[in-house]
Structure 1
């Protein structure tokens, strides 16, 4: 996501603002009066004998914009670089997202889950004829921060176009056309026939994650990135080879077996995960009916299948929390460790 872009024919600047009603024409008109430069910073301000700290969003032409939060700051100092300006990022944002400035990368970074450097915010400097600068931010991080602060992304843009060498300024009167766009874009195109035009407008979006989504991400339980192993096993109930997932949402418990593929609840006792020849009780209508472990069907799918099926059976039963209904007296809390110890 581009937070800031500056070229000879483009100016784009993004901030965060409180939510507003896009259908309210007075609010849109207020936001269209924006007058904000990227070099606007926190500053010491005085008036007579009074002094205070001025916000970078004071005197920006829009009341609603003045309630927002500036993310990108353009600064200059001979102590840093006497030849050009440099970029700073809001410390509230960088501290919250645990970002650190790495000068050689021109980026604010953190380590990802694999220990690699993740360039979350990056400055792109261009040395071509159309020299300019772009500041980009990873969309996932922006969504997290916007969700935490309860704000919307708000981008302002100016796009002047003219013929170099023959442009002497915009005429006082130019035709004006509305910028075509969707429900999150508003602006105007001012055209001076044959030699110049300028587009000016605003764009907004609500990219924020919910607090619940942010919490799951922090605790490492983001459902979008979780993956679970699947096993091919013999379904002795339906006499078929099938694939069983270890996803907790797909592991049947005693309460869901009545409506799952098994159709009826099963009750087990004296379960042996080692493949012992001791019988397993099966209950379809009465608890007295028994069958030997050999009927698991290992002869049909190979010896290795019994291992997979035994491990899957133990893991499935261990997920059931209904007491005295499905977990045998010899099943331990760690079914896989139980299998290894007994084999």
Structure 2
């Protein structure tokens, strides 16, 4: 868009009157070239920039028959053209005849009555700041899955990688307006609607139009049949036969020139680029060997087909760091314990982590990923250091439910149950925290600290101190100097709960909050280093420590649920 604005700015510079550059400027070859250059890529739909005006509509292809050029040359459309109504009184008393008006009923062209406007320049005095704004035809935005994203000032959608793609960009200031559209989306709509894009343009250039208004004029017709640009143009001369002003008014037809087969493939496959498939080091358990294999579904087979191809369920192994990308961007990715989802764009159906800490999935599911995502996984691909996890073998090959205890899943369920039964005692202030809590998958200190931080925000901060304060006051044990965890402990002690059970409830909460305070907030220093070394000495590594802490926290939450509070 910036390049287009720069070009418009360059074309609007007025050369010195009486020079050859001024005459060439009035001939407007640079603007005709601008129309050619912007017929692909980011295509301007609407331009209102100083002396340049472009306004675009959709026109059915079957209108381009016979002497359509002369008809369309009489266009008279405005950016605020829209639907309306009229009424008149009939012959009978109090009878009213009502008619709906098409945006181009008074356009000067019969064919334009079949056209559909794409952009609408609207204004509303109730708006704060700039009163005018650009609206885009809903039929177009809905058919192509576009949504207006205010911070980008554009109509957007998600691409195959799950990133926001700006399709219709809007530049709107009090002085100028530019609206552009990506060519591939325009082509898709032209194919669906069997129509063409009709760009109407008008450009008047002058140094002093009032002075030259009564002078001689040289008029001509411009026709570029190859590029479908048709216009009427003219140059006005002063008494000294020097060119003073010029004008150009006409239209350009932009078609979808993509082959029908390609457009049908895009329509059915949902993407225009051919799928690419990477090779991965995998365990071909059919032939009991480890080698590189493509994840292309055509190069894989299932158990029921005899061939020399590897099974589609051949496991592929990765360094655990492969998951960090998804953990660090929860706005874009939903990382679950056995699957990964990227907005509405793609998903990895299943993965798991084996005893060696390797992430693993199967060749067939890697083939479902966009090529850019395959490259990400390939960069962490390595030979297996252990078999696939017991859980994956049970669910994926035995076809059974995995009923073994899993601390993190159990904790999340326990928190959900506690919130449903005792929302005054505990509730999650941020619904995303539950999804954002994961096991650390690497030995990264930062990853472990981040998970401790999330665990504290979810579990400890979810406790409602006002509710506990009211209980403590009723039991005559309230102390305004203590925090939420110690207040809960005082309540349990006053209620004469078994000391072992109190420790089971309180100890994990204290550990979580202590670690967040000492480590997450202050990850350097001798005290913090000693805490980390002690935890590693006791549990083997920080990943095992976190799992153990989650298991204790699960028991703590279930203990809170049992006690009458």
Q: Bin the TM-score by the shorter chain.
A: 0.5 to 0.7
Contact 1:186–1:202 under 8 Å retained in 2: yes
For normalisation by structure 1, the TM-score amounts to 0.64
Q: Does 1:202 align with 2:186?
A: no
- Structure 2 Cα separation of the partners of residues 223 and 43 of structure 1: 39
Contact 1:148–1:211 under 8 Å retained in 2: no
Unmatched tracts of structure 2, length 5 or more: 1-42, 90-95, 238-242, 316-361, 364-383, 388-565
> How well do the aligned residues superpose, as a CA RMSD in angstroms?
3.8
**Equivalent residue runs for 1:66-145 within 5 Å:** 66-80=113-127, 84-126=131-173, 131-145=175-189
Deviation at 1:145, TM superposition (A): 1.2
Find the counterpart in structure 2 of residue 336 from structure 1: 314
Q: Does 1:327 align with 2:307?
A: yes
**Equivalent residue runs for 1:6-21 within 5 Å:** 6-20=48-62
Q: Which one of 167, 183, 189 corresponds to residue 210 of structure 2?
A: 167
The verdict on how the C-alpha distance between 1:102 and 1:169 changes in structure 2, with shifts beyond 3 A counting, is farther
Q: Which one of 254, 273, 291 corresponds to residue 307 of structure 1?
A: 291
The verdict on how the C-alpha distance between 1:101 and 1:221 changes in structure 2, with shifts beyond 3 A counting, is closer
Deviation at 1:45, TM superposition (A): 1.7
The verdict on how the C-alpha distance between 1:149 and 1:335 changes in structure 2, with shifts beyond 3 A counting, is same
Find the counterpart in structure 2 of residue 178 from structure 1: 221
Contact 2:133–2:172 under 8 Å retained in 1: no
- Structure 2 Cα separation of the partners of residues 82 and 327 of structure 1: 68
- Structure 2 Cα separation of the partners of residues 317 and 135 of structure 1: 45
Find the counterpart in structure 2 of residue 31 from structure 1: 72
- Structure 2 Cα separation of the partners of residues 108 and 225 of structure 1: 25
The verdict on how the C-alpha distance between 1:106 and 1:171 changes in structure 2, with shifts beyond 3 A counting, is farther
Contact 1:31–1:64 under 8 Å retained in 2: yes
Contact 2:301–2:310 under 8 Å retained in 1: no
Contact 1:7–1:133 under 8 Å retained in 2: yes
Who wins on radius of gyration, i.e. which is larger? Answer: 2
Contact 1:121–1:136 under 8 Å retained in 2: yes
Q: Which has the higher helix share?
A: 2
- Structure 2 Cα separation of the partners of residues 220 and 317 of structure 1: 19
- Structure 2 Cα separation of the partners of residues 173 and 229 of structure 1: 69
The verdict on how the C-alpha distance between 1:173 and 1:317 changes in structure 2, with shifts beyond 3 A counting, is closer
Deviation at 1:215, TM superposition (A): 5.3
Find the counterpart in structure 2 of residue 289 from structure 1: none
Alignment partner of 2:71: what SS? helix
- Structure 2 Cα separation of the partners of residues 118 and 29 of structure 1: 39
- Structure 1 Cα separation of the partners of residues 152 and 310 of structure 2: 52
Unmatched tracts of structure 1, length 5 or more: 233-270, 276-305
Report the count of equivalent residues.
263
Find the counterpart in structure 1 of residue 287 from structure 2: 273
Deviation at 1:181, TM superposition (A): 3.0
Alignment partner of 2:266: what SS? helix
Find the counterpart in structure 1 of residue 45 from structure 2: 3
Deviation at 1:178, TM superposition (A): 2.6
Alignment partner of 1:178: what SS? strand
Deviation at 1:134, TM superposition (A): 0.7
- Structure 1 Cα separation of the partners of residues 299 and 263 of structure 2: 32
Q: Which one of 256, 261, 266 corresponds to residue 217 of structure 1?
A: 266
For normalisation by structure 2, the TM-score amounts to 0.41
Deviation at 1:212, TM superposition (A): 5.5
Find the counterpart in structure 1 of residue 373 from structure 2: none
Alignment partner of 2:45: what SS? strand
- Structure 2 Cα separation of the partners of residues 155 and 112 of structure 1: 27
Contact 1:144–1:209 under 8 Å retained in 2: no
Deviation at 1:47, TM superposition (A): 2.7
Alignment partner of 1:153: what SS? strand
Task: After superposition, give the CA deviation of every residue in 1:202-234 in whole Å (9 maximum; x if it has no partner).
Answer: 1102127677645543554646242123699xx
Find the counterpart in structure 2 of residue 294 from structure 1: none
Indicate the structure whose relative CO is greater, using CA pairs within 8 Å and at least 6 residues apart: 1
